[in-house]
Structure 1
Amino acid sequence: MKEPVHIGRHPSARPDLERLLGEVAGGDQEAFAVIYDATVSPVLGVAHRVLRDQAQSEEVAQDVLVEVWRTAARYRPERGTAINWILTLAHRRAVDRVRSVESSIAREHKAALLDHTPEYDEVTEQVEARFEREQVKRCLRTLTDIQRQSVTLAYYRGLTYREVAELLALPLGTVKTRLRDGLIRLRDCLGVSA
């Protein structure tokens, strides 16, 4: 059984993280516990400087230390010290979290904009509606007074043929004929096929 490594007895009693990472790569849980205790504060500090949120910083620190456990075999001493490798993992993970949050906010903003964007071009529709109204008004002016009054009362005010006849004091048959003739003239004037 290995001799336990004690941290904090005096300033020079720092664990050999490079050696311990090699042991963690072999599955040594005690070595990982020592690495965890020695690095959790600096990892949390790096994460908090990037994220500025305690809860997210703690999540990132936890993720980084789990990654150290899983990927200890990837550490290469010739590329730098063990603590620098671990803190680089922490910084990258924190930056990834910031980017993820920013992307999420951007997606939500874009989705909100799409929710408020009409499915059609309102300006085009308004211009077309105005053009159609003007064309209908012009064509209505080509009708006789009785035709125009009958069409207006029946189609714009929603009156029945009988109500139009009573209002204009005309026989029902006359109103029906004037409406039919007026609608035919409107159809021809507007260029609508039958």
Structure 2
Amino acid sequence: MKEPVYIGKNPVGEPDLQQLISSVALGDQEAFAAVYDTVAGPVLGVVRSVLRDRAQSEEVMQEVLVEVWRTAARYRPDRGTAINWILTLAHRRAVDRVRSVEASAARETKAALLDRLPAYDEVTEQVQTRIEQEQVRRCLRTLTGLQRQAVTLAYYRGLTYRQVAEALALPLGTVKTRLRDGLIRLRDCLGVTA
């Protein structure tokens, strides 16, 4: 049996990774199988160190090796070794996956928060209602005590004019006059045009 002669770390007769990548760039499937066997472990290691999740790491490793197959012609030996190029692709792809997962989680969180927030119109309506309520309260304070009592009983408690008259122990005509005068003052205070 003949002993291989070594040049660097490669036995003579066995192509190095750079030569394999050049062959892959030409569409050589056997060269790609050799690249796959050579780099799958290191690629998985780099990806796993970034992602931590085994299933995602294996998926990203496959994506990286497909990228090597598709983009082998882009490898430039003058910029570094083939293994460094492949591991750089692996690291970038793993970081992209982390960013994608984080962005997806952020979108889901934002969507969940938006679902819980009331719609803009609902908030505007609530604010407007509060402002109007405060304005009515302020205007009610400008009425005389008897006018305020009559308006409160009739419009906030829902009593009829006759029931208001009974509650205040006043004649019905007097209650009607106080209500009319009170409503006119409220209208003027609120700025409502007739």
- TM range, normalised to the smaller chain? 0.7 to 0.9
Number of residue pairs matched? Answer: 181
Secondary structure of 2:158's aligned partner: coil
Give the CA RMSD over aligned residues. Answer: 3.2
In structure 2, the residue matched to 1:143 is 144
Cα distance in 1, alignment partners of residues 116 and 65 from structure 2: 43
Q: Where does residue 158 of structure 2 map in the other structure?
A: 158
CA separation of 1:28 and 1:162: change in aligned 2, threshold 3 A: farther
CA apart distance, 1:68:
0.6
Q: Deviations over 1:76-120 (max 9, x none)?
A: 111111111111100011111122222233333444444455544
1:35/1:60 CA distance change after superposition, 3 Å: same
Structure 2: tracts of 5 or more residues without a match: 1-8
CA contact (8 A) 1:151 1:182 kept: yes
CA 1:178/1:129 → structure 2, altered by over 3 Å: closer, same or farther?
Answer: closer
Map of 2:3 onto structure 1: none
Contact map agreement 1:135 1:190 (CA 8 A) in 2: no
In terms of mean alpha carbon deviation, does 180-189 or 110-119 score higher?
Answer: 110-119
Residues 72-81 or 99-108, more deviating: 99-108
**Cα distance in 1 for residues equivalent to 2:114 and 2:148:** 44
Note the 1:31-180 alignment, pairs <5 A.
31-117=31-117, 119=120, 120=123, 128=131, 131-132=134-135, 134-139=137-142, 142-143=143-144, 145=146, 147-168=147-168, 175-180=175-180
Percent identical pairs in the alignment equals 70
CA contact (8 A) 2:140 2:148 kept: no
Shift of 1:59: 1.4
Partner of 1:6: none
